[in-house]
């Protein structure tokens, strides 16, 4: 899902944890290229019952290099 806001923030929401990070980062990089922005957010909903909330909730910033326009993308990953 791509949501566009006034400041061009991009959000992807996915429910499949194991492949979300790799697939989600590739997908958001593509969305960010199309929208012409260098910052985005990836939200991961971890629905695994065997994980505590302390394990599920996190925030991390990653840089994606080598995008088609030659710039770096900054993606903030939110775990919930």
pLDDT in tens, 21-36: 888 888 888 888 888 8
Share of the chain above pLDDT 70, in %: 69
pLDDT value at residue 58 = 92
User: What is the C-alpha separation between 59 and 32, in angstroms, rounded?
Assistant: 19
pLDDT value at residue 76 = 92
- Delimit the domains of the chain by residue range: 3-51+60-79
> Which runs of E-coded beta strand occur in 15-57?
39-44
- φ, ψ of residue 53 in degrees (nearest 5): -65, -35
pLDDT value at residue 57 = 93
Rounded to two decimals, the pTM is 0.68
Calculate the CA 18 to chain-centre distance.
14
């Amino acid at each position: 899902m791509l949501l566009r806001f006034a400041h061009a923030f991009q959000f992807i929401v996915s429910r499949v944890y194991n492949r979300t990070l790799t697939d989600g980062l590739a997908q958001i990089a593509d969305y960010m290229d199309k929208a012409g922005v260098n910052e985005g957010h990836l939200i991961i909903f971890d629905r695994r019952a065997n994980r505590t909330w302390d394990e599920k909730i996190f925030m991390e910033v990653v840089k994606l290099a080598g995008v088609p326009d030659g710039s770096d993308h900054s993606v903030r990953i939110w775990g919930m």
